[in-house]
Structures are given as structure tokens and as C-alpha cells.
């Protein structure tokens, strides 16, 4: 694979995680626990889908096969999606949603910190803007993890259950992916070792304040979002999201 293709692959990973997170946030519309949260969730979702578009636009240029950002979002199969497994998990209750966002944000923020200094100007541009948004996302989700962890008995139980359920997927935030490691060497991508270290430190700090027990580090297992090996949830999510462009393949909207 050429570096050009590797880079496109990396951009799809960034875009897919942002898009799928945003899509899950759309499912909350009208169902959030308070009106202020409706506003905040929609705001985060808007940021992320906007970022996804930025990554897809660039990926489409690099791929140069006639597909545009919309085609990448709406016409790819589930096996071609490269998002982290954590973001495709169903929303569950507010504890699950909060923790999914937090684990993602704690990975996203250091990733963007590095990408905003990428040797590729285009990447640095998208990441620079996204970084400001991701700082707020991380702050917000950390605060909610702390509130729920150190709130009532019920909220503590619910967020602890969420940790049990989601922890296995955090392997993807700390493992060292060879493609990313290679791209990082040339200053194009975020260094996975730095991101892993940051992720662990940030999660440990917030968990302590939230009075949550930090599990043993997650271990690799059969599934791998970066390789397109997803949980069954992604296919359902895409079926809904991609319905119109697939039902009317040549239509303009």
C-alpha cells in the first residue's frame, strides 16, 4: 500500500468514529434527561459530524476514485467501516451513553492534539479546529462521569455497570496499531503510544474523582473496528443511516 492509501485509510478511521458517534447522538433527539442536555448532545453531535465531513473530503481526494464525502458516509458497507467499536455500541441508558462518549473523548483529544501539529497541512487544519471542540467534549463527558460516579447510589451502580459492559472495547484506545505507528513516524498521524498513555492517565484521574474502580487493562479479542470487524450493532445503525441514498442511488438531496 502506498502512503497515500495508508493516509486515506487513517482518515476514514477518524471520520467513521466521528460520524458513528454523531449518529448515535442523533438517536437521543427528544429523549435526553433535560432540555439542557438535548442542547449539549446535539451540539457535540454537530461538531463530530462536521469533523467527519472534513476527514471524508480529504480522504475522497486522496482515494480519487470518483467518490465524494457523502458516498464514503452513505455507500460503504459495514465491513468497510473503520470506526472504533466503542462508538457503535447502542446508547443504553444515560450512564452508557456518557461513558461511551468519555472513553472516546479521552482518546480523541490527545489524537487531535497531535494531529493539529501534523506535517500534513490539511490534517493540521481540520484537527486544529476540531481540537477546540474536543476540549469541550472531554470536559463535559468527564464532568458527567464524575457526577454519575459520585452522585447517588443508583447513578454509581449504573455507571459501574456501564464500565463492566464497555471496558473490553477500550483495548482499541490503547493498542498500538502498526499502520498508525508508521504514519506517526513521518509526522502525519498521532503517535499511538502517546495517545494510549494519555488515555490511561486521563481515565485513571477521572475514575478516581468519580469513585469508580479502574479495571485491569483490556485485552485484545476477536473484534477490531480498524480492520472492519464490528459488533452486530454497526450494520443496523448503517441500515438506518444509509437508507435513502441507497434506495435512490442517483438522487440529489
Q: Which residues bind another protein (CB under 8 A)?
A: 22-23, 26-27, 29-39, 42-43, 45-46, 49-50, 52-53, 56, 69-70, 73-74, 93-94, 146-148, 150-152, 154-155, 158, 240-241, 243-245, 248, 250-253
Q: Nearer Cβ to another protein, position 24 or 226? A: 24
DSSP the chain: --HHHHHHHHHHHHHHHHHHHHHHHHTTTTTSSSHHHHHHHHHHHHHHHHHHHHHHHHHHHHH-SS--HHHHHHS--GGG----HHHHS---SHHHHHHHHHHHHHHHHHHHHHHTT-SSHHHHHHHHHHHHHHHHHHHHHHHHHHHHHTS-HHHHHHHHHHHHHHGGGGHHHHS--HHHHHHHHTTSS--HHHHHHHHHHHHHHHHHHTTPPPPPPP---S-BGGGTB--HHHHHHHHHHTHHHHHSTT---
Smallest separation, CB 171 to another protein (Å): 28
Q: Nearer Cβ to another protein, position 26 or 124? A: 26
Q: Nearer Cβ to another protein, position 235 or 245? A: 245
Smallest separation, CB 19 to another protein (Å): 8
Smallest separation, CB 132 to another protein (Å): 18
Smallest separation, CB 37 to another protein (Å): 8
Amino acid at each position: 500500500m502506498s502512503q497515500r492509501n495508508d493516509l486515506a485509510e487513517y482518515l476514514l478511521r477518524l471520520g467513521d468514529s466521528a460520524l458513528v458517534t454523531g449518529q448515535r447522538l442523533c438517536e437521543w433527539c427528544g429523549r435526553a434527561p433535560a432540555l439542557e442536555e438535548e442542547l449539549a448532545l446535539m451540539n457535540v453531535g454537530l461538531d463530530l459530524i462536521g469533523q467527519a465531513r472534513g476527514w471524508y473530503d480529504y480522504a475522497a481526494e486522496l482515494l480519487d476514485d470518483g467518490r465524494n464525502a457523502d458516498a464514503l458516509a452513505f455507500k460503504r458497507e459495514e465491513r468497510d467501516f473503520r470506526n472504533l467499536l466503542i462508538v457503535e455500541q447502542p446508547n443504553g441508558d444515560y450512564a452508557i451513553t456518557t461513558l461511551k462518549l468519555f472513553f472516546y473523548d479521552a482518546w480523541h483529544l490527545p489524537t487531535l492534539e497531535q494531529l493539529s501539529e501534523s506535517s500534513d497541512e490539511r490534517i493540521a487544519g481540520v484537527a486544529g479546529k476540531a481540537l477546540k471542540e474536543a476540549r469541550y467534549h472531554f470536559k463535559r463527558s468527564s464532568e458527567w462521569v464524575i457526577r454519575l460516579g459520585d452522585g447517588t447510589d443508583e447513578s454509581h451502580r449504573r455507571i459501574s455497570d456501564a464500565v463492566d459492559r464497555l471496558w473490553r472495547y477500550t483495548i482499541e484506545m490503547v493498542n498500538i496499531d502498526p499502520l498508525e505507528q508508521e504514519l506517526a513516524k513521518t509526522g502525519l498521524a498521532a503517535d499511538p503510544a502517546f495517545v494510549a498513555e494519555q488515555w490511561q492517565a486521563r481515565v485513571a484521574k477521572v475514575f478516581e474523582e468519580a469513585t469508580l474502580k479502574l479495571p485491569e487493562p483490556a485485552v485484545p479479542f476477536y473484534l477490531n473496528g480498524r480492520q472492519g470487524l464490528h459488533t452486530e450493532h454497526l450494520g443496523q445503525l448503517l441500515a438506518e443511516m444509509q437508507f435513502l441514498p441507497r434506495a435512490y442511488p442517483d438522487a440529489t438531496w
